[in-house]
Amino acid sequence: MTSIPATEIAPEGAVGLDHTGLIATRGADAAAFLHSQLTNDFTGLGLGEARLAALCSAKGRMLASFVGFKRSHDEIWLACRADLLPATLKRLRMFVLRAKVQLEEIAAPVSLLGLSGAQAGAWLQAAASGTAALPVWGHRLLDNGVSIVRLPDGAGQPRWLCAAPAESAVEVLDALPGLSLPAWDWLEVQSGVAPVQAATVEAFVPQMLNYELVGGVNFQKGCYPGQEVVARSQYRGTLKRRALPLHGEAPMTAGQEVYWSGDAGQPSGVVAVAAPALGGGHDALVELKLAALENGSLHLGSADGPALTLCALPYALPNPTAAAPQQTGAPN
């Protein structure tokens, strides 16, 4: 990713995630139902675990993405972008049929918070011993009803998703420095894990956003909508598109097209998630043709639009193109 100058510190603190909502799935068949609909394994989900997953169309295109975590043996919560929640909830309910499961939106008094940095880790350690040391995609339910999910690092900062009753959420926000939502979005870009949002519905199959590399796809589980397309993309030929970080001076937004000088007549990529960069300019994760890494230049919006610079992912791509900067290792 875009490097951080030594004189600057990645943002840390706590922020209310107003652009994210919650769906509760409750009932004896909650895990089995989600297992049959999403890209990840939910029948094997333990109380101490979370899952990144996607809901796909029959064509394998992502309709929504989730962070799912188990609150009890028959209750799983799904965090997804709020602008997709109503349509996603409606679609999931269509497939309930005779399954013993109920789905509903969780609104107030539960709040979703994003926590980042050493101060947040210290506060979590004091509030509930061991919470700060959760592994990535680990989950812990505290005695006060607060769920903590460890997310992949962003710019070297540990991050957590916190689902908390109103009173507990206020305590967290009062105890930690304030973090702006754009700063949280920038950390999300830096993590290399892009959520699906309204502007990118049906734009990607999971591998285009590297989901199989960051724990979002299980290829050993049973059928789900779009599974054949997702599996075929994985096993029958080389993947030709990936999510890669780009930096530019002009603002970027999800859904914007990116052009490559080597094939200027058509877009070669789509912005998946973007935010103002810590050191100036703007950073984004962009679904991009790998051919565009071989030579030429990248531009936002049109073939002669603002120039974009390729940066490094925080994890390695399999058989990456030599032109793409890489950082070795899996997400922290």
Tell me the residue range of the domain where 109 lies.
Answer: 13-180
Residue 8's pLDDT band (cuts 50, 70, 90) = low
At 325 the pLDDT is 52
At 279 the pLDDT is 85
Residue 320's pLDDT band (cuts 50, 70, 90) = low
Share of the chain above pLDDT 70, in %: 92
Mark 195-226 as b/e (b = at least 16 C-beta within 10 Å).
Answer: bbbeebbebbbbbbbbbbbbbbbbeebeebbb
> Does a structural domain hold residue 303?
yes
For range 13-26, the mean pLDDT: 96
pTM, to two decimals: 0.92
At 108 the pLDDT is 78
At 323 the pLDDT is 45
Model pLDDT for residues 227-285, shown as the tens digit of each residue: 999 998 888 766 899 999 999 999 999 999 999 999 999 999 999 999 999 889 999 99
> How far does the chain reach from its first CA to its final CA, in angstroms?
14
> Does a structural domain hold residue 8?
no
Instruction: Give me the torsion for CA of 201, 206, 207, 210, rounded to 10°.
Output: 90
Q: Are residues 29 and 149 in the same domain?
A: yes
Q: Are residues 206 and 176 in the same domain?
A: no
Q: List, as one string, the DSSP characters of 259-314.
A: EEGGGTTSEEEEEEEEEE-TTSSEEEEEEEEGGGGSSS-EEESSTTS-EEEE--BS
> Does a structural domain hold residue 315?
no
For range 158-175, the mean pLDDT: 93
Q: Which two tokens stand for residue 130?
A: 């061991």
Residue 28: Cβ within 10 Å count:
12
Model pLDDT for residues 48-101, shown as the tens digit of each residue: 999 999 999 999 999 999 999 999 999 999 999 999 999 999 999 999 999 999
Q: What CATH number does residue 203 fall under?
A: 2.40.30.160
> Does a structural domain hold residue 243?
yes
Q: Three-class SS of residue 126? A: helix
At 85 the pLDDT is 97
Q: Are residues 173 and 203 in the same domain?
A: no
At 206 the pLDDT is 96
159 Cβ neighbours under 8 A, 6+ residues apart: 114, 115, 116, 150, 151, 152, 153, 187, 191
User: CA 247, CA 294: separation in Å to the nearest integer?
Assistant: 18
Residues 84, 198: contact at Cβ < 8 Å?
yes
Q: Are residues 176 and 205 in the same domain?
A: no
More confident: 265 or 130: 265
User: CA 163, CA 169: separation in Å to the nearest integer?
Assistant: 8
More confident: 145 or 329: 145
At 292 the pLDDT is 93
CA 310, 308, 180 angle in degrees (round to 5)? Answer: 90
Backbone dihedral angles phi then psi of residue 201, each to the nearest 5 degrees: -60, 130
At 9 the pLDDT is 67
Of 192, 200, 149, 190, nearest to 17 (Cα)? 149
pLDDT exceeds 50 at position 180: yes
Residue 109's pLDDT band (cuts 50, 70, 90) = confident
3-state secondary structure 186-214: HHHHHHCCCCCCHHHCCCCCHHHHCHHHC
More confident: 329 or 197: 197
Q: Are residues 112 and 259 in the same domain?
A: no
- State the total domains in the chain: 2
Residue 328's pLDDT band (cuts 50, 70, 90) = very low
Of 295, 298, 180, 311, nearest to 244 (Cα)? 311
Q: Are residues 171 and 26 in the same domain?
A: yes
At 322 the pLDDT is 42
Of 200, 219, 223, 241, nearest to 64 (Cα)? 200
